[in-house]
Amino acid sequence: MKIIDIYNSKKMVLSLEIFPPKPDSPLESIFQTIEALKDLRPDYMSVTYGAGGKAKGRTVEIASRIKNDYGIESLAHLTCIASTKDELHEIFKELKANNIENVLALRGDIPENPDFDFPNPLQYRYAGDLIREIKMHEDFCIGAACYPEGHIDCDSKIADIKYLKEKEKSGAEFMISQLFFDNELFYRFMEELDLADLKAPVSAGVMPVLNKKQILRITQLAGCNLPPKFRRIIDRYENNPEALKEAGEAYAIEQIIDLMAYGVRGIHLYTMNKPDTARRIINNIENIRKL
């Protein structure tokens, strides 16, 4: 099933995101995670390439198991910055062979290795290039990323929204937002998208922060604003891991309840492969989810 049809048939869509284990770790661990998440009844599950684009070879296999063995619609992440046209078309074939109908088209992280051998000449620079390539040759339902606080590599919010509009015109049918911790920034972003006449449904990306190291890494990579309320939580509980975990889950629950009251089209929960945390969060919105 194409994910855009899910958005068109439901008032609010709930999706979960997982990532592959490290290349030197057994794949079975992620299937245990999926097994623990499946009865939360997500509308779809997305599978990333792993941190920094690593373990990408496992993404199709995991997405295939989600779709074909667990009966949950899957969304495979697909990046382009380090890929050639031939490599991408091989992945297209593999996705189709595994009955995967949905992809999240991304530029991808720049490889950390300074000696990384990029295609020469570079064949794809931006997610929009990948979206156009897919639409020219395949019939996948395409999702795209959006950035409530602006992409960290973009010069301005105005330019960033212009690029989002171009993604939509090129064929992106739905959007998933980068994580954020201040809902008011997200609501302002949605107003900006309305002014730009962007029609694609947007799912709000929410990540429960469970430890201080995670918080510092996220803010460095994504440039997320930490509102005073959230900073107080970190300062108060940073030396008590269990208390910070509990507070982080509570903050995510409060975020989601407020987002759903606002009327978001979807909630995309970054599970960090922590099914117990995902379960506690979703169980706390079960009745609200039914409305």
3-state DSSP assignment of residue 142: strand
Query: DSSP character for 43?
Result: S
Tokens representing 177 are: 């937002």
- Give catalytic residue positions: 17
Q: CA dist 62 to 41, 43, 108, 196, Å?
A: 18, 17, 19, 36
Q: CA dist 34 to 30, 47, 158, 197, Å?
A: 6, 11, 38, 37
A 10 A CB-CB count for 116 gives 9
Buried b (16+ CB within 10 A) or exposed e, 46-75: bbbbbeebbbbebbbbbbbbbbeeeebbbb
CA–CA separation, 137 vs 120, rounded Å? 23
> Residues 90, 60: contact at Cβ < 8 Å?
no
CA–CA separation, 108 vs 204, rounded Å? 20
Return the bridge partners of 104, or none: 77, 143
